[in-house]
A and B are shown apart, each in its own frame.
Chain A
Amino acid sequence: MSAESTTAINRSIVDLLDFIDWSGVECLNHNTAHSLPNAIKQGYREDEGLYLESDADEQLLIYLPFTQVVKLHSIVVKGPEEEGCLIGPKTVKLFSNREHMGFSNVNDFPPSDTAVLTPDNLKGKPVVLKFVKFQNVRSLTIFIEDNQSGSEVTKVDKIALFGTTVETTDMKGLKKIEDNH
């Protein structure tokens, strides 16, 4: 399925890393030594030694607000691939535009989408999401429910989000354009 859909005139699928609002990023149940920036930030996520790990049990709840409205197309979740260490995530639920969720209310409403990851996905194959459900995303909550082997701890090497931006005015860019005239 072609990602460059007909409605997008000049937009292509980009990595939404630049649009994450870092001041509002939260992660619940993560091990403080192995925290969220390890999995998301440029450079950190490519490093195999840096990963996100869960703490008290195998679930993780990640909240990512965006600086502007985006449409989410696909997601890449990489986990450790070694044979004996299949503790990458398996069931991943995504909620759009829900703020401040906790583990107690993840089951209260249906997720915008659910992805069950295969070992292929853990190697880096993107999971294409239901685009129609993610047309107007201000914030994304990622709930990692369990992992491949059912162990106590879940490890995530990398999380990457791909999508497009919605036509919103970038105020900084506005001034610049004025100058050009």
Chain B
Amino acid sequence: MVLEATMICIDNSEWMRNGDYSPSRLRAQADAVSLICGAKTQSNPENTVGILTMGGKGVRVLTTPTTDLGKILACMHELDIGGEMNIAAGIQVAQLALKHRQNKNQRQRIIVFAGSPVKYDRKVMEMIGKKLKKNSVAIDIVNFGEDDDGKPEKLEALLAAVNNNDSSHLVHVPTGPNALSDVLISSPVFTADGEGGSGFAAAAAAAAAGGVSDFDFGVDPNIDPELALALRVSMEEERARQEAAAKRAADEASRQGKEEEPLSNSQDATMTDNTNNTAAETTEKTADPMDEEKSLLERAFAMSMGTSVSDTSMADADTSKATDEDKELALALQMSMQDDTKDPSNQSDMSKVLGDQSFVSSILTSLPGVDPNDPSVKDLIASLQGQPEKKKEDEPPKDDK
């Protein structure tokens, strides 16, 4: 929540026409700038941001540091391309603009987008850096675009001259599928903001990444630690249960026949509907239907966990949330989903499950002593084909056993 005045130096030289950062280097910069402005103002409402362009006929200040995001975004629209980037003049004008900021209590920061070659030599860059350091101005350099020899070294020399206690950063953005803004979000340019800024950045990152997640349950422990913890705990509980129930399942399978299994699996099917499981593995069931429903929630979750490598994190979150939050709510959810399939009675469970060929097949195949190629088993499966609802909902199944 550092109170800060920022000047952003945009490179609008001819090199920015290039499309190696989509849609063009200039628009990629514009997107990044809007994100930065948002993050700065969110982390502290008194933060100000100003923009200047380094290319064109000469360095031009578009807005002096202001809290008005609208003004900044309006300026971004009017950018045009031309000329050469003059980085030294750009930084010096930025420093001057910061010096004349209205609120002298704000810290000073310059963010430079260095996309075209740097024509100044190291000495000049170091001197500029020293001057910035003397006046306690921090700088963030975004190195992208052109990569001629010497440019990274010059920018590093500038950074080394300015850097005071790691308040300044240099970020290299290579060309590639990731947009300029996405790379910046995870860089110190954003995350150095502190608590408030990083929240904004993390949310933006989650939105941008679209559910791709490295974390176990598709939930970022940083964003939602309680949910991640609850998921982990329920997962472990479920594992313990599964082992115990697996033994029972083997015993009961022969006794109760397939009616119990389909019933239990229907619950699973409805719960995992969202997850597009077509070949779920079921290994157990419970004897009592009422208990079943509760345990099935957990099992469904386990199933979705067990099979999902490519499942969306949204789905995981859904099922897990049902497990966590309110089992009754989840049950009600289930009921309503079952109601949708037009059979309001218990029969709906059965018919659904019987109609879910994939589930039944997989259950049967997972039972000891059952061979899916056995003609009697095949007849059984064929007989289930009469049930319409489940088949419409599930994609064509593939036996994976």
Contact = CB atoms under 8 A, between A and B. Distances in A.
B partners with A: yes
A2 interface: no
Contacts of A56: 130-131, 133-134, 161
Contact of A99 (B99, B104, B134, B165): B104
Contacts of B341: none
A96 to B, nearest CB: 18
B247 to A, nearest CB: 65
A47 interface: no
Interface centre among A32, A56, A99 (most CB of B within 10 A): A56
B135 A103 contact: yes
B137 to A, nearest CB: 10
B165 A55 contact: no
Interface string B144-174: 0000000000000000010011000000000
A29 interface: yes
A104 B133 CA distance: 13
B134 A103 contact: yes
Interface string A99-137: 110111000000000000000000000000000000000
A48 interface: no
A32 B136 CA distance: 11
Interface string A59-74: 1000000000000000
Contacts of A100: 104
A57 interface: yes
B135 A32 contact: no
Contacts of A103: 134-135
Nearest to B127: A56
Q: Is the interface of A mostly helix, strand, loop or mixed?
A: loop
A28 interface: yes
A28 B165 contact: no
B135 A28 contact: yes
Contacts of B131: 56
Contacts of B164: 32, 55
Nearest to B104: A100
A100 B164 CA distance: 20
Contacts of B165: 32
Given A32-B164, A104-B99, A57 B104 contact: no
Given A55-B164, A104-B99, A29 B104 contact: no
A32 B99 CA distance: 21
B134 A55 contact: yes
A2 to B, nearest CB: 40
A100 to B, nearest CB: 4
Interface of B: 99, 104, 130-131, 133-136, 161, 164-165
20 contacts: A28-B135, A28-B136, A29-B133, A29-B135, A29-B136, A32-B164, A32-B165, A55-B133, A55-B134, A56-B130, A56-B133, A56-B134, A56-B161, A57-B130, A57-B134, A59-B134, A99-B104, A102-B135, A104-B99, A104-B135
